[in-house]
Structure 1
């Protein structure tokens, strides 16, 4: 006997609308599209997405017995974590606290005040994901989703040209034999490996994230997805906070599934807001508690005097730690103070 719609963990109003429209069983919802369901029930696409997500979860239960997939031992999980590929940030100390860089198969949120370097770091990662395997890279492509209009292609070219110079220098170091082939990558090649999307509303953002699975299936060399910034339109345009929470949760789930399915890194850049806590105003990441569990790792960028720092705020595998970094004309680099410390150490030896 089919599971009735009235058993679904959705609101009574939504259950009533489903039954009134003739959707009385899970099978009747198994092949319906989001737009058709939204039209039949006179609801938003976001609500239709959420209903279908709940239905797909219920469909994984057959006759009261859950169909469990992907069981693995804790030993396998440890091995998988240790062999996880990462994308360098071009800052050694920042890479160090990140366990080697930004992890694939995970969602990493990077937040901070305006001007701290979030977009600069995002652009650097979009370039660095293209580092070839023999140099320790992924030789992948990047998707850059811009919600604020902060992506500057001239700056991307600047960082790309610095990357090409660094790769040429590394190549000369690696192959001291002058007969070795030189690096022939050009700035145009780097820019052509970054797929850029500009979204101007939260509905466009949701639609694009729903489309990513198909896009990455057709472009399997994509190893990084960046959203800059992930919460911008949700802060500006949403009045219904309960609906906003549901839509954000659904979006976060899709991004986590995307990271796992295609073994790629998802990086969410986020803004900060002012929060009144215990008699004083404090900075916290935008959307606060409703968004706080939507990523695997969280990195906070902040100022300490005139120096930029990154802090591991949340991670299941990384310890809380801080590291300085610099934003230079060539991109993200080691901080000036850490370079000075290194020179002092060498001179004292």
Structure 2
């Protein structure tokens, strides 16, 4: 469940997640269509700097891999991200160079979850990501496993076959689960801004007991690895020996709180004639950017706009957004989708702040407008 709050209206509005819109269909020529192929793309951070100084580059997280339909014309273009670093080492003001083509949704979130050495604040930072593409057969297992765990749609059969250990027969006449043990995730340390996972490999003996357990792939959370091995050992299956079975456990990431924001009055222009309280008459489509929600990253944005006498919203623009401009783009769509009570003359230079906040229960998310 996703809960959205409109602070300007006072009551709390609870809505279910909306059905995802159909994918955008792009028309291509027959020649280009024949050249398209499904490819694993990993956006590798290749170079970076802050002003004239070096960037402690190894601290940059590599984005989650994507499985995309690409052509030779769009697969290898680098993507540039600009940002600044505050005194704590946190990247802020993250935005993509609009002149560069970007395919990976996890670019800004993975950078937002990265941490650099603390010290003096740094401005004018830039990172260039280079797409590394490969077939499913040639992609590193770590990237494939991570993709399979967090994929928004079911990966192709070829990917699961590639992940399966050599000689595995666990997916043919798959044994039924009699008992699936689960770790106590609350006792496992969480990594801020990133979900950890452990993929356990095991065999099943004739009695249905897991044997030969080991970690097949993982993000490095040793407490999760240990708890995952214990959980699989306690699980039970129907009788019949199997080998090369796999099962993943994931530990939800710790929430990365939104950076501090100035009071909303600080963003209001002197020539604003907008009232302090706006009476919203219709509820827009309220959306939390999915790529940031997946990493439990919070944010906010300030939107300036005008109101027509009939209540329509116009001239909406992003005044500020943190930790990435994508929060501003989402907030702008929310404000443009709103409708207010009619007025005699309309108003100009109104401002609202849209807050994006995670909740502990069921990965719920809040969008607050004040």
- State the TM-score, normalizing by the size of structure 1: 0.26
Relative to its length, the structure with more strand (as a share) is: 2
The one of the two structures with greater contact order (alpha-carbon pairs below 8 A, sep at least 6) is 1
Relative to its length, the structure with more helix (as a share) is: 1
